Amino acid sequence: MLQSRSCLHGCIRSNAATAERARIHRSAGPPTRAQAERAPCYKWSPHSPRTAPHARMAEHHEAATFTGLLKPEHFPDHLLHDPGEILLTLRRMNKQRVLLNAHIDAGSHRFVSAVLDCGPRGLVLDVSPDEWLNTQAVASDFLTCSAQLDGVRIQFDLHEVTGVTWDDLPALFAPLPASILRLQRRQAFRMSVPMNNPVVCQVTVYPQDCGDNGDAAGAPPAARVVRPRVADVSMDGIALVFEADTLELAVGIELTDCLISLPDSDTAKVHLKVRNLHQTTNPNGVRNVRAGCEIVDMPARFTNQIQRYIFKIERERRLLESPD
> With the C-alpha atoms ordered 45, 50, 56, 57, is the resulting torsion angle positive or negative?
positive
* Measured distance CA(166)–CA(164) in Å, rounded: 6
Under DSSP, the state recorded for 98 is: B
Amino acid at 139: A
19 contact partners, CB below 8 Å, separation of at least 6 = none
Phi, psi angle pair for 65, to nearest 5° = -85, 125
* Measured distance CA(63)–CA(227) in Å, rounded: 31
Q: Is the pTM of this model over 0.85?
A: no
* Measured distance CA(42)–CA(18) in Å, rounded: 11
Q: What is the pLDDT of residues 207-224, one digit of tens each?
A: 666 555 555 555 556 788
126 contact partners, CB below 8 Å, separation of at least 6 = 53, 56, 57, 113, 114, 116, 171, 172
Closest CA to 286 of 243, 248, 249, 241: 243
Contact 74, 194 (CB under 8 A): no
- Tens of pLDDT along the chain (324 residues) come to 333 443 444 443 333 333 444 343 333 333 333 433 333 333 333 333 333 444 455 444 444 555 568 888 888 888 999 999 999 999 999 999 999 999 999 888 999 999 999 999 899 999 999 999 999 999 999 999 999 887 678 999 999 999 999 988 999 999 999 999 987 654 456 778 888 889 999 999 876 665 555 555 555 567 889 999 999 898 888 999 998 888 888 888 999 899 999 988 888 999 999 988 888 777 777 888 989 898 887 777 888 888 888 888 888 877 776 655
* 191-321 fold: Thrombin, subunit H (2.40.10)
Domain layout of the chain by residue ranges: 2-185, 191-321
Closest CA to 146 of 187, 101, 105: 101
In CATH, 2-185 is 3.40.50.300: no
Q: Each residue of 128-149: b (16+ CB within 10 Å) or e?
A: bbeeebbebbbebebbbbbbbb
Q: What is the pLDDT of residues 14-32, one digit of tens each?
A: 333 334 443 433 333 333 3
